[in-house]
Amino acid sequence: MSIASDFPAQLPRFIHYIKAWNPTRITDEVINIYATLASV
């Protein structure tokens, strides 16, 4: 069974992981990193 043919079945799980990944929190962390670098 190839990954390509299995992809549609995996799509809901991928969407779940993307939502659980919480881009807002990641963005806040990136901003904090840039702020720290800018203050050096």
Look at residue 2 and tell me whether its pLDDT is greater than 70. no
Look at residue 38 and tell me whether its pLDDT is greater than 70. yes
Ramachandran sector of residue 22 (left: φ over 0; alpha: ψ -120 to 50; beta: rest): left
Spans of all domains in the chain = 8-39
The pair of three-digit structure tokens given for residue 13, joined into one six-digit string: 């799980």
pTM of structure: 0.39
pLDDT at 24: 83
Q: Express each pLDDT in 4-36 by its tens digit.
A: 677 778 888 888 887 777 778 888 888 999 999
